[in-house]
Structure 1
Amino acid sequence: MSSSTAGGLARQWTTWGPVVAAVDLALTWGRDLAGFGVAIAAVCLFAAVLAAVHHAEVVAHRVGEPYGSLVLAVAVTVIEVGLIVTLMAGGGEKTATYARDTVFAAVMITCNGIVGLSLLVGALRNRIAVFNAEGSGGALATVCTLATMTLVLPTFTTSHPGPEFSGAQLAFAAVASLALYGVFVAVQTVRHRDYFLPVSREGQAGAESEDDHADPPTKQEMWISLGLLVLALVAVVGLAKLISPTIEDGVESAGLPKAVVGVIIALMVLLPETLAAVRAARRDRMQTSLNLAYGSAIASIGLTIPSIALASIWLSGPLILGLGAVHMVLLVLTAVVSALTVVPGRATLLQGGVHLSIFAAFVFLSFSP
């Protein structure tokens, strides 16, 4: 099979994959799926994930870094926020911790799972993973600040009983989160864009890969890919929601905590970023991987908390945001280890292994708290 034929086949399935997944979502939305329906939904979800990664790379090749990783991170987060608000709208007290659990799972998956896997892949391929300490350090500081303000402080405030913000405190956290996210995006894309570009082995920003020498897609192809990317991500999040009752039944029958459901769904929703980050690491573009990981964590907090704060005007029931002691320990450990990883601007297999160990501890303690 010639390369042009293979490329044509790739374009065909990445075009039809999101469409088929969206059709399956539309036909099955609001229904209780049986075993065969769940299997079809899972296949469509996986196809939509792979298609999303492809179209994100097409958009990234056209607009360049760090805009490409920003597009994918924001697109996934916006759709995820919509899903959270929709679920909380009819859940009452049963969904009081849904926003907290989802955001914290996203932080642990991105800062430990995606970062650790990317560092491992990059170090295995190139011995040492090289990235920009200034850009990654600023992104990490933003993640830690947002996570502390929105997930740790509610446990210690006294204006409202329990690990909850009062109305004024929630409003402040929402405005501060949105403002900090806006500052980060401005710095990443305008004022200090060079801090977020891939670096060469000599430490120079703007390192080129093999993909940079290929002709960029046309503007029409970029807009088509952007539309298919959004469609694929809608299908990913929606199908993950449809599969969640089956996951809940399996978790309940196994006697596992309900928080496990949130972890599994978050893992499925973040699959596009994970695959895109690993592919970037294999191409020696570690900065792109870190942009995806930290950018997704920042967007998850910076967009979710303001949206939940606004929706809380109409939502009934409590909104619990404060983390418990075990999760706070994992968050502090993540912050310290991440700082030690980012500061040198270079990492080895060891750093990747350490982050993956923290991620494994998070997953294990979710199953066995």
Structure 2
Amino acid sequence: MSAHGPMPRSAWIFPALAVLLFAGATALGYTFTPTAAGLVFAAVLLVILFGTVFAAVHHAEVIAERIGEPYGTLLLTLAVTIIEVALIATIMLGEKAVPTLARDTVFAVVMIVCNGLVGICILAGGLRYREQDVQVTGSNLYLSVLTVLATITLILPNYTLTTPGPIYSAGQLGFVSVVTILLYGVFLYTQTIRHRDYFVSGTTGATDEGAHASNRTLLLSAILLLVSLLAVVLLAKKFSLVVDAGAALIGAPPAFAGILVALLILLPESVAAVGAARKNDLQKSINLALGSSLATIGLTIPAVAVAAFALDKQLVLGLNAQEIVLLVLTFVLSMLTFGTGRTNILFGLVHLVVFAVFLFLVFVP
């Protein structure tokens, strides 16, 4: 969906369908079961849910372009974070306890974005333009903050002594949550105000100042954004039941649910990132990709930590040794990829190979 031009029909049809689906399922007292009718319901639910997430991101983009930075970036980030936290919290609070879901989702987001999405963008741009440029300084800032956030939230819990295993104590989790939000907030200030030039490609064309939405479109987008977010939150419980049943049906590992949530959240921005790479604006692709990873860790982990504390749920954050190796490999590879400021198809292929290894090891550990 584009934020410019007339509002696409899908931007209001999917939120309306999501509300109707929830109202109908609730009124009829429908409970998902893995039968033929249940599979039809699951397919309809997934299509409507994906469409509603796209609609929410579209309306957030319309409002973001009108209100400007840094509030526009904050709005986009908060919209995606609300959806992600709703899905994670709902599945964690389901009949089957999933204390590792937040960890699995965050790890899946990092691997999908930093290897899968970055690889596709670099490969697509390289096939069309041979080489593309990115801002080395901006990429280094992304990777430095992302490395610290990932380390203190996904690796360090394995090595603390207050509580055994890959779990933070309540005090440690509170401290890490505050530090995470603070670091992400300073990064956002750096990106949108202090050093905006670090994150803008020299080849990016001037924006069309007359393309802003009208007051009527802005008001409509604000209302539909709230409806879309509410609809996703309401359907999150139904989605969790489908995920549980689907995972049991195919014998998928626990990390499968985290990958599904990550794919649902990342799909709209992934489409925009690949489109930007094909238009020779790889810098925008990197901003969307790495920005999604930062927002996931910087805001989702603290939000889920608060929910887990309030509801007295255990939150497992530490990765296993195999996943730590993949995470470290991803960061080292990313530093090499963006370190020269120029990319080609080989960089993209290497990232996709690491992503393929990640997916393979999820099912064949």
TM-score band by shorter chain is 0.7 to 0.9
The letter of the residue matching 1:215 is: A
How far apart, CA to CA, are the structure 1 residues paired with 2:269 and 2:311?
30
Verify: 1:76 aligned to 2:73, yes or no.
no
The residue number in structure 2 matching 1:147 is 150
How far apart, CA to CA, are the structure 2 residues paired with 1:234 and 1:135?
34
Alignment of 1:1-369 (within 5 A): 11-28=8-25, 31-33=30-32, 34-52=38-56, 54-59=58-63, 61-62=65-66, 71-89=75-93, 94-200=97-203, 207-208=204-205, 212=208, 215-232=211-228, 235=231, 239=235, 242-369=238-365
Q: Is the 2:86–2:236 contact (alpha carbons within 8 Å) kept by the matching residues of 1?
A: no
- TM-score w.r.t. the length of structure 2 is 0.86
Deviation at 1:325, TM superposition (A): 0.4
Q: Percent identical across equivalent pairs?
A: 47
Q: Is the 1:65–1:288 contact (alpha carbons within 8 Å) kept by the matching residues of 2?
A: no
* Residue 55 to residue 22, structure 1, CA distance change in 2 (3 Å): same
Deviation at 1:182, TM superposition (A): 0.8
Question: How many pairs does the alignment contain?
Answer: 354
User: Alignment partner of 2:260: what SS?
Assistant: helix
How far apart, CA to CA, are the structure 1 residues paired with 2:73 and 2:120?
17
Q: Is the 1:181–1:298 contact (alpha carbons within 8 Å) kept by the matching residues of 2?
A: yes
Deviation at 1:102, TM superposition (A): 1.4
How far apart, CA to CA, are the structure 2 residues paired with 1:273 and 1:154?
30
Mark the runs of 5 or more structure 2 residues left unpaired by the alignment. 33-37
Q: Is the 2:87–2:240 contact (alpha carbons within 8 Å) kept by the matching residues of 1?
A: no
Q: Is the 1:69–1:292 contact (alpha carbons within 8 Å) kept by the matching residues of 2?
A: no
Deviation at 1:252, TM superposition (A): 2.1
The CA deviation string for residues 176-228 of structure 1, in whole angstroms up to 9 with x for no partner, is 1011011011111110112122331xxxxxx216x747633234423433443
The CA deviation string for residues 34-63 of structure 1, in whole angstroms up to 9 with x for no partner, is 122222212323433443454455445545
Q: Is the 1:173–1:305 contact (alpha carbons within 8 Å) kept by the matching residues of 2?
A: no
How far apart, CA to CA, are the structure 2 residues paired with 1:199 and 1:67?
24
* Residue 194 to residue 220, structure 1, CA distance change in 2 (3 Å): farther
How far apart, CA to CA, are the structure 2 residues paired with 1:91 and 1:277?
36
How far apart, CA to CA, are the structure 1 residues paired with 2:258 and 2:196?
34
How far apart, CA to CA, are the structure 1 residues paired with 2:234 and 2:342?
38
User: Alignment partner of 1:292: what SS?
Assistant: helix
The residue number in structure 2 matching 1:204 is none
* Residue 193 to residue 223, structure 1, CA distance change in 2 (3 Å): farther
RMSD (Å) for aligned C-alpha atoms: 2.7
How far apart, CA to CA, are the structure 2 residues paired with 1:110 and 1:70?
20
Q: Is the 1:132–1:198 contact (alpha carbons within 8 Å) kept by the matching residues of 2?
A: yes
How far apart, CA to CA, are the structure 2 residues paired with 1:237 and 1:348?
40
The letter of the residue matching 1:161 is: P
- TM-score w.r.t. the length of structure 1 is 0.85
User: Alignment partner of 1:95: what SS?
Assistant: coil
- Range with greater deviation from structure 2 (227-236 or 247-256): 227-236
Mark the runs of 5 or more structure 1 residues left unpaired by the alignment. 1-6, 201-206
